[in-house]
Structure 1
Amino acid sequence: MHILVTNDDGPPSNQSSPYVHSLVSNLQAAGHTVSVVLPHTQRSWIGKAHLVGHSIKPTYFRPAPLTTSNGKLSNTGTTSSRPLPGHSEDEEWILVNSTPASCIQIGLYHYFKTRGPIDLVVSGPNYGRNSTAVFSLSSGTIGGAMEAAVCGVKSIALSYAFFDRNHDPDIIAGASAHSVKLIDHLFANWGEDVHLYSVNVPLVENVGERKTLWTNMLQNTWKSGSCFQEIEVPEEEDHGQEEVEMEMRKAEERQGRREQGQEGTGSGYDTPTGNGHIRYTHKHFKWAPRFKDVYQSVEDAPPGNDGWAVKEGYTSVTPLKANFMHVTGFEGELKI
């Protein structure tokens, strides 16, 4: 099978993209032809967006052999502005300065023709769960799979739900082996009217021996207010993307352990003038999603949804359609 892999976490990195190399290696070991197009940097929370008015420029990533060093996977490789010559036998992935959805377009239509048609797209594994509607609606991982689906290609969005950020190589290897087995099964037994599957694999010991469940997607909302934290205007530039990424992963880990942390706030007030206009307080805002809202919605919901399955240490498989289905019962002229 020819599989196109993308993600929203970018090229292999212990900090921001610790799982994709393991999955690709396991897919290759299972006999699949794997083509890889990834964003050149972190693109989480970007959904199915494309960057309009933006010329996409590829770079080329050569993954180093996947090894273990000091109890951690060695997620390394080199990047070049030019592709390898035609006679080279080395593995090479494509990085593009755009979104997961754009990676799918580039991968489906502009590369890999000599390998034959792409049978399946796998978007992921995401660094963190994509369970429940709140996470899924913003997910770049699911966005990539959605893009493939609207292009008429079967796709699977794959996410690894971590409970701490100590990336145990054995647990990751187990999750990847389990994922490949599940990918093969879903492709061979594709459900009627299914456009894509959203799969969440918990990073727990012996995950392949635990249950894999069909689930629905928990319908939830943000409950506690803003997902942006107000911050004072810094004298210097804002935190870099890597710093923001680290803070977000720490917050997700705290909620996975049911610990309290700082999230979005809305404490500032603007001042009205005598004529009704507003004088604004100059402030900056930092993305600080309220993970506790999602985890609490899972606690409050009955069993059977994707969030519940992951919480229990099970793999969740949610069949989806790649559309915004309308609400029935509204027909004819709307009189106002």
Structure 2
Amino acid sequence: MHILITNDDGPPSDQSSPYVHSFVSTLQAHGHTVSVVLPHTQRSWIGKAHLVGKSIKPTYFRPSPLQTDDGGRLHNTGTTSTHPLPVGHKDEEWILVDSTPASCVQIGLYHYFKERGPIDLVISGPNYGRNSTAVFSLSSGTIGGAMEAAVCGVKSIALSYAFFDRNHDAAIISGASELSAKLVHHLFTNWDSNTHLYSVNVPLVENVGSRRILFTHMLQNRWKSGSCFQVIEVPSEDDDTPSDVENQIRKAEEKLGRKELHRQEGTSSGTQTPSGQEHIRYTHQHFKWAPRFKDVYDSVEESEAGNDGWAVAQGYTSVTPLRANFMHAGGAEGEIKLDS
């Protein structure tokens, strides 16, 4: 099978993209032809966006062999060049583009790899962290990449690794990649005709291959603590980079993930102006993105069994079939007549 890989975390990196090299190597060991087009830097939380009006320039990444230190932790290295290797060169080379996961998919499907034959499947991921529940999924660049493939008529899977510890244990990551490769093959050969793409969340836990794999629905949750933005007094001249923000998010996810793992092992609203009161002019303010992810984890804890967030919290792999559209809610038919 010819598989195109993209992600929203960028090229292999211990800090921001620790899983993609392991997964690509595992797919290759299973006999697949794997082509890779990734964003050249972190592009999380961007959904299915394209950077309209921007010229896209490729660079070329050559992954070094995966390394494991004395503590059993996985390390990712490689080199980047502005020019591709010459035709016929045998070293592995991936394409990096200064754009989004969705754009990577378009470029990978239509502008490279013709000599390798048609692409059978697009896999976006493995994401550094879970993409479960509506709040995460609707903004996910990982799912956005898979959505782009689906609207191009190509089968696709959004793959995410839900971590409980950021030490990147090589054996656990290898187990997740092995399970994912087998699951990818199963889904591809048993594809449901009503499904455009699958969102798969694999928990990074020991012996994940022996744990349950469940079809799930996506938990419909929401932000309930108020704004995702924090008012700040004076904006810093040096804003946090997307990688800085992602690192902060992952620290919070690790803390909450450890809580989930422990459980496995043991078993502001806005104000309104009163009616008739004179409108109060707004004040000049600055804002910083600071969502309260506790809303997401609380929604999972309060939900019933069967959704994607619940499955991951139990240490199970979740498989959520999706369609690449905003589905009609139903119940609304006929003509609308306004009151005169």
Report the TM-score when normalising by structure 1: 0.92
Map of 1:119 onto structure 2 = 120
Whole-angstrom distance in 2 between the partners of 1:241 and 1:325: 31
Deviation at 1:266, TM superposition (A): 8.9
Q: 8 Å contact 1:233–1:284 — kept in the other structure?
A: no
Give aligned pairs, total.
327
Question: Are the counterparts in 1 of residues 22 and 66 from structure 2 also a CA contact under 8 Å?
Answer: yes
1:35 is paired with a residue whose SS is strand
Deviates more, 1:189-198 or 1:21-30: 189-198
Cα offset, 1:35, TM superposition = 0.2
Give 1:278's match in structure 2, choosing from 270, 276, 281.
Answer: 281
- CA contact under 8 A between 1:218 and 1:307: conserved in structure 2? yes
CA deviation after TM superposition for structure 1 residue 310, in Å:
0.5
Distance 1:283 1:234 in 2: 6
The 2-side partners of 1:279 and 1:172 are apart by 50
Is the 2:2–2:117 contact (alpha carbons within 8 Å) kept by the matching residues of 1? yes
Residue 173 of structure 2 corresponds to which residue in structure 1? 172
Shift of 1:288: 2.2
Q: Which residue of 2 aligns with 1:291?
A: 293
Q: CA deviation at 1:147?
A: 0.5
What is the match of residue 249 of structure 2? 248
Match of 1:57 in 2: 57
- For 2:97 and 2:158, locate their aligned partners in 1 and report how far apart those are by CA, in whole Å: 19
- Pairing 1:89–2:90 present: yes
Structure 2 partner of 1:314: 316
3-state SS, counterpart of residue 257 of structure 1: helix
- Cα-to-partner distance string for 1:78-98 (whole Å, 9 max, x where unaligned): 111111111321100000111
Following the alignment from structure 1 to structure 2, what is the Cα–Cα distance between the partners of residues 95 and 36? Answer: 8
Residues 207-234 of structure 1 show CA distances to partners (whole Å, capped at 9, x for unaligned) of 0001111111111111111112222324
> 1:12–1:21: 8 Å Cα contact kept in structure 2?
yes
Instruction: Give, in angstroms, the shift of residue 120 of structure 1.
Output: 0.4
Q: Which amino acid aligns with 2:88?
A: H
Quote the Cα distance in structure 2 between the aligned partners of 1:117 and 1:94: 18
Identity of aligned residues (%): 74
Structure 2 residue aligned with 1:262: none
- Contact 2:41–2:98 under 8 Å retained in 1: yes
Structure 2 residue aligned with 1:98: 99
Counterpart residue type for residue 154 of structure 2: V
Alpha-carbon offset, residue 72 of structure 1 = 2.1
Displacement of 1:68 after TM fit?
1.0
1:32 counterpart = 2:32: yes
- Deviation of residue 241 (structure 1)? 3.2
In the alignment, structure 2 segments of 5+ residues that lack a partner are 261-267
Deviation at 1:333, TM superposition (A): 2.0
Does the Cα contact within 8 Å between 1:230 and 1:266 map onto a contact in 2? no
Secondary structure of the structure 1 residue equivalent to 2:138: helix
Q: CA deviation at 1:268?
A: 12
Whole-angstrom distance in 1 between the partners of 2:226 and 2:190? 42
Is contact 2:2–2:120 with CA below 8 Å preserved after alignment? Answer: yes
Distance (whole Å) between structure 2 residues aligned to residue 235 and residue 228 of structure 1: 15
SS in 2 for 1:200: strand
CA distance in 2, matches of 1:69, 1:206: 21
Instruction: Give the whole-Å Cα distance in 2 for the aligned partners of 1:154 and 1:85.
Output: 31
Q: Which amino acid aligns with 1:26?
A: T
Q: What's the CA shift for 1:236?
A: 3.2
Matched letter for residue 94 of structure 2: W
2:232–2:285 contact (8 Å) kept in structure 1: no
Gaps of 5+ in 1: 260-264
Secondary structure in structure 1 of the residue aligned to 2:59 = strand
> Which deviations, in whole Å up to 9, do the C-alpha atoms of 1:237-294 show, x marking residues without a partner?
22233322221211222222349xxxxx89999xxxx984624233231x22221111
Change (3 A) 1:111 1:51: same
